[in-house]
Amino acid sequence: MSKFAIIGIVFLATVVIIVGLFVYSYTHLGVSLKDVEFQSIDWEPMSWETLLSVGLNTLSGNWFNAAFGLIQGINLNLVFGLSNDGLLPAYIPDLYYDVLINNIPIGNGVSKINTIINPGEIKEIISFQNIQKSSMTPAAISIINTEGVMNIKVRGTAYFQLFVWDIPVPFDSEKQISIHDEVRNKVNAEIQKNLSRQDLDALTCGDRTHDENGKCVPDNVIEEVAGIFDEIKKQIDDLLK
């Protein structure tokens, strides 16, 4: 066998080994949504009028619908699990993904990762996601109907780099959270703080009571509203039991 033939065989074997390592590593890269952590809710300013509206809806059994209207945005942490079960280190610059709530698309996101995952290594990446009220509009009815239960689906593509090649790895994962208790506790706290007889008693002008626009309100109306407030508190207290 000639020298050139030997070199050719060695070169071919090297290429096959490299391609084999590349293919094996490519097929053993993984991305998944490990968890969705509820962080906080951004609220609209709450006046006693808006809280009264929520309270009245509480009496009719439709409190969550009214309370949901006071939400400006929901803040979540998306916890991604990145794994490399291959034989080559992989560099991940970023993730691109779409977010769906109860199977309804509400927006997209990108997470700049800029990390290397070595063979056999698993890393968790946390991506902050702020979902604005305008983005939630298509899914609002679904969230209201489930009283705050949200199936968060994240699907997209992670771009791994092996040598000089960009390797797209698609992913599609889903987790469930609920904002019911957070909304309930917030509304309860605000109603207890703002909608009380003391607040009504403070709105006086001489011997008469006025609203926030300065208009005097008859005493019998104030008594009726005060009764509504008391009933609202009872209903909210029952929700907390």
pLDDT digits (tens, 9 = 90+) for 118-139: 888 888 989 999 999 888 888 9
Q: CATH number of the domain at 117, please.
A: 2.60.40.10
The pLDDT-based confidence of 212 (bands split at 50, 70, 90) is: very low
Neighbours of 24 (CB within 10 A): 13
93 domain-assigned: yes
Confidence (pLDDT) at 207: 46
One domain, residues 167 and 78: yes
State the Cα–Cα distance between residues 11 and 17, nearest whole angstrom: 10
pLDDT at 116 over 80: yes
Specify the range with the lowest mean pLDDT, choosing from 34-38, 44-48, 63-67, 204-208.
Answer: 204-208
**Nearest-CA neighbor of 28 among 153, 167, 164, 163?**
167
188 domain-assigned: no
21 domain-assigned: yes
Mean pLDDT of the chain: 75
Task: Give the amino acid at 149.
Answer: V
The pLDDT-based confidence of 97 (bands split at 50, 70, 90) is: very high
Q: Which domain holds residue 123?
A: 3-178
183 domain-assigned: no
Tokens 């008859």 map to which residue?
A: 218
210 domain-assigned: yes
pLDDT at 7 over 50: yes
One domain, residues 226 and 122: no
State if pTM tops 0.75: no
157 domain-assigned: yes
One domain, residues 162 and 200: no
Q: Classify each residue of 213-232 as buried b or exposed e, where b means 16 or more C-beta atoms within 10 Å of its C-beta.
A: eeeeeeeeebeebbeebeeb
One domain, residues 47 and 94: yes
Tokens 């050139």 map to which residue?
A: 4
Contact at 8 Å (CB) between 110 and 99? no
* Enclosing H/E stretch for 171: strand 165-178
Q: Name the domain count of the chain.
A: 2
Q: Strand, helix or coil at 189?
A: helix
One domain, residues 74 and 102: yes
Confidence (pLDDT) at 208: 46
pLDDT at 151 over 90: yes
pLDDT at 5 over 70: no
One domain, residues 154 and 225: no
One domain, residues 39 and 139: yes
pLDDT at 182 over 60: yes
One domain, residues 151 and 227: no
The pLDDT-based confidence of 22 (bands split at 50, 70, 90) is: low
One domain, residues 230 and 171: no
One domain, residues 122 and 9: yes
One domain, residues 16 and 95: yes
Confidence (pLDDT) at 226: 55
190 domain-assigned: no
Confidence (pLDDT) at 1: 59
Here the tokens at position 84 are: 């490399």
Neighbours of 153 (CB within 10 A): 21
185 domain-assigned: no
Higher model confidence: residue 156 or residue 167?
156
Confidence (pLDDT) at 203: 46
Concatenating the DSSP letter of every residue in 26-61 gives HTTEEEEEEEEEEEEEEE----HHHHHHHHHHHHTT
Specify the range with the lowest mean pLDDT, choosing from 63-72, 156-165, 170-179.
Answer: 156-165
Neighbours of 48 (CB within 10 A): 21
Give the end of a domain, one of 144, 178, 212: 178
* 29 Rama sector, left if φ>0, alpha if ψ -120 to 50, beta otherwise: beta
